[in-house]
Amino acid sequence: MRKDSLKTFLKENKKLIIIIISVVLVLALGSTALGLFVNVGIDVDISSIEKVGTDTVVVPAANGEPLSLYKPDGNGGISSEPFKILAFTDTHFDTYRKKGKYTMEYMVANIQREKPDLVVFVGDIVTSSSNRKRAEQIAEVMEKLEVYWVTVLGNHEGDNFRSISREKFIEIYSSYPHCLIDSGKKITSDNEEVWGNGNTQINVLTEGGVVSQSLFFIDSGNRVSKEDAQTLNIDTESYDFVKESQIKWYEERVEALPIGTKSMIFVHIPLPEYQEAEDDAGKNPDGTFDYEATSAKGTKVLFGKSRESVSASDYNSGFFDSIVSKGSTQAVICGHDHVNNYRILYKNVLLCYNRSSGYSSYSVVTNGMSDKLEQGASIYYVNQDGTLSFGDIINRDYFDDTEVMKLY
């Protein structure tokens, strides 16, 4: 078409062209709006999930004592068998349904196979935008499985304006019968309201009604507030930290336990001392450690690798110092850093990374560290004497991950 002919065509069809462009723009904007505000669900058929069931007994909180759990012995008493906790972290159920389908499929299958006494989610479980439906689906899946569960919030729950709030996540989850989150506000002895959502304490009982382990679930926030950043002189992009009121609440709850009672903490964002522990242990270039060595400070790596730096808050609020001082907590379990999965004994406290579980976010494959996927879960056994034993699940050892690998 000659230039003069093109000009004539455009002039004669100006209105039509404007209409076509307007329609295209409306369709594009409509599609974008749909993605922004329509709830996107997880690709899962909940009706087809076979229940696991549980014989775990729940003793409701009463008279200032937290909720307790125990395994029955079949004769009306409490079993002395290990209490089994199966934990997932960073499932990142987002709008990328294809990968999320495999995350859900393997998560459900792991629960069905392991038959845990309690399932724990260590944060960043439901992420991205328009996520209320996905939050409800997680709870509905756990109800269908009929297994008790708890979650802590990660840094990505509620981190954009199209997400439900952190408070709403806890409100939704705690409304389901098998979810054991305490959604109520906590108050310290000096009447200070404890910061965060879903801070929870649960006692595990063993034979004779003895508390073998007290489990603490702590909200570590997402990004530091502008006010805290200014007051503490840290970057506004810093990850958040466990607040003074939470530390006081933890200390008071530990002090209320029978003397000598052991405890463990689940928190999404690692404490700054994780990096101290790594540095003292001495990391090899490939992320491994000398597993036979013990440092001059008594630091010893028991398991795993560190393949990314510790993404802790820029501010150290002193939570770990409190943990060491109180002498109750023997293990801190976090998520957050997807390609770290170690257990390091540091100052007589095990600093643990739960194995990352989700396929939608970064991994050793996306980071070019391996040609094999390493997502899975971690197992924590609470023994009768309060000591801990550990298990590690890598999904590819149980499932053919050929199809999910094609998505990378």
Say how many Å lie between the first and final Cα of the chain, rounded: 45
Closest by Cα among 284, 347, 293, 356 to 319: 347
On the question of pLDDT at 33 being above 50, the answer is no
- Residue 124 pLDDT > 70: yes
Q: For 372-382, write each residue's pLDDT tens digit.
A: 999 999 999 99
CATH entry, 43-405, from 2.40.280.10, 3.20.20.60, 3.60.21.10, 1.20.810.10: 3.60.21.10
C-beta of residue 178 within 8 angstroms of C-beta of residue 169: no
Is the pLDDT confidence value at 26 over 60?
Answer: no
Q: Is the pLDDT of residue 35 over 70?
A: no
Q: Is the pLDDT of residue 16 over 90?
A: no
Short-list 83, 81, 100, 85, CA closest to 41: 100
d(CA 89, CA 78): 30
pLDDT of residue 30 exceeding 50: no
Q: Cβ distance 158 to 164 under 8 Å?
A: yes
pLDDT in tens, 318-350: 999 999 999 999 999 999 999 999 999 999 999
For residues 260 and 145, is the Cβ–Cβ distance under 8 A? no
Q: Say if residue 165's pLDDT is above 50.
A: yes
Is the pLDDT at 28 greater than 80, yes or no? no
